[in-house]
């Protein structure tokens, strides 16, 4: 015979109520004082509400907000890229000598694949730039060092679609944009090395370097080798700045990273120039010289990050003399 509701209330409750009382006494004996009340209240809840209460108590903290240096870096990179896209779209650089057409690549297009993947290896290899940019996004730190690292990472992320669109569309303007945005990589590396060697961040000097870098692509419409001349000048300036930074702030690890970056740059330039010649060998028909040059380019970015982030910070400034 089931007990009535009144007898349950007056006589100490049924089985569920007795189990709750038992759990409350166990919690009070085990948990510290400051946690007993919330735990007992949770046990006292009906079954359908306990799970949500426990989940609320064990939820993960929200992701940290983007640092001001990161926001500034992404804004500056986006503004610079938008400026380049607008200038190229206006036709101001239509006279630049660029190479377009599938006949310029050793990898044969695959007719049944969509346009973005017509040359699958030369297209998908560009994901390496996004991977390098994501890998080196700053997760800690503050100040100019974090800003510079965020700029470099943002440029690597942005270069992935720029290069992919060139391979996909084979349009002269896409090729000109691809050439142009290559140059600021060297300018920002030079600015970072300059700041490391000097022991202080000079934003006006960095702005002048980047502005001069962007303006130097004006050589491309003036001469068929204008881009190559600008690229050689950028590479020489970056190498000189890296040497100064290595002497003042480097060590054995940064020296190895710098040597790796130089080797990767040489591989990038040599393999890209020899793409069609290597394509006569079956081994380089699908995984062509252009494909491997992009692998070297991604490795160059990675080695540059290793070098730049490995440079020692300047020693702290001396305090006022003791009395």
Q: Are 96 and 229 in contact (CB under 8 A)?
A: no
Q: Please give the Cα distance from 193 to 241 (Å, whole number).
A: 6
Joined together, the tokens standing for residue 213 give 């870098």
| pLDDT value for 270 | 94
Q: Please give the Cα distance from 73 to 79 (Å, whole number).
A: 10
Angle of CA points 296, 210, 225, to nearest 5°: 60
- In DSSP notation, 156-184 reads HHHHHHHHHHHHHH--HHHHHHHHHHHHH
103: which residues sit within 8 A by CB, 6+ positions away?
Answer: none
Joined together, the tokens standing for residue 205 give 């000097």
Distance of CA 286 to the CA centre of its chain: 28
Distance of CA 86 to the CA centre of its chain: 24
Q: Please give the Cα distance from 246 to 254 (Å, whole number).
A: 7
| pLDDT value for 1 | 44
- In DSSP notation, 22-51 reads HHHHHHHHHS-HHHHHHHHHHHHS-HHHHH
Phi-psi region of 313 (alpha: psi -120 to 50; beta: other; left: phi over 0): beta
Return per-residue pLDDT of the chain as tens, 323 residues: 444 444 433 444 455 455 555 545 544 444 444 444 444 444 344 444 444 443 444 443 334 568 899 999 999 999 999 999 999 999 999 999 999 999 999 999 999 999 999 999 999 999 999 999 999 999 888 899 999 999 999 999 999 999 999 999 999 999 999 999 999 999 999 999 999 999 899 999 999 999 999 999 999 999 999 999 999 999 999 999 999 999 999 999 999 999 999 999 999 999 999 999 998 998 898 999 999 999 999 999 999 999 999 998 877 654 444 44
Give which of 62, 207, 73 is closest to 145, Cα–Cα: 73
Q: Please give the Cα distance from 192 to 195 (Å, whole number).
A: 5
| pLDDT value for 17 | 53
């Amino acid at each position: 015979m089931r007990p009535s509701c009144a007898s349950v209330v007056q006589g100490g409750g049924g089985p569920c109520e007795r189990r709750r009382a038992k759990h409350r006494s166990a919690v009070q004996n085990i948990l510290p004082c400051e946690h007993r009340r919330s735990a007992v209240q949770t046990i006292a809840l009906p079954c359908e509400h306990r799970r949500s209460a426990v989940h609320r108590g064990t939820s993960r903290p929200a992701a940290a907000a983007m640092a001001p240096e990161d926001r500034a870096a992404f804004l500056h990179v986006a503004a610079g890229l938008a400026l380049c896209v607008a200038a190229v779209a206006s036709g101001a650089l239509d006279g630049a000598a660029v190479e377009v057409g599938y006949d310029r690549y050793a990898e044969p297009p695959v007719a049944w694949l969509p346009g973005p993947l017509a040359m699958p290896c030369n297209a998908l290899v560009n994901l390496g730039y996004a991977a390098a940019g994501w890998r080196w996004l700053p997760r800690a730190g503050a100040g100019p060092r974090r800003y510079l690292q965020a700029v470099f990472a943002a440029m690597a992320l942005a270069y992935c679609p720029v290069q992919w669109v060139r391979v996909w569309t084979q349009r002269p303007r896409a090729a000109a944009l691809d050439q142009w945005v290559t140059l600021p990589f060297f300018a920002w590396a030079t600015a970072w090395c300059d700041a490391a060697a000097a022991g202080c961040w000079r934003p006006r000097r960095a702005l002048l370097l980047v502005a001069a870098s962007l303006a130097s692509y004006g050589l491309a419409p003036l001469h068929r080798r204008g881009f190559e001349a600008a690229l050689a000048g950028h590479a020489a300036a970056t190498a000189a700045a890296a040497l100064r930074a290595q002497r003042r702030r480097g060590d054995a690890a940064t020296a190895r990273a710098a040597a790796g970056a130089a080797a990767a740059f040489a591989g990038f330039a040599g393999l890209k120039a020899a793409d069609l010649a290597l394509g006569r060998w079956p081994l380089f028909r699908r995984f062509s010289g252009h494909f491997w040059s992009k692998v070297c380019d991604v490795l160059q970015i990675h080695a540059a990050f290793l070098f730049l982030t490995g440079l020692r910070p300047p020693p702290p400034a001396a305090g006022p003399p003791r009395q």
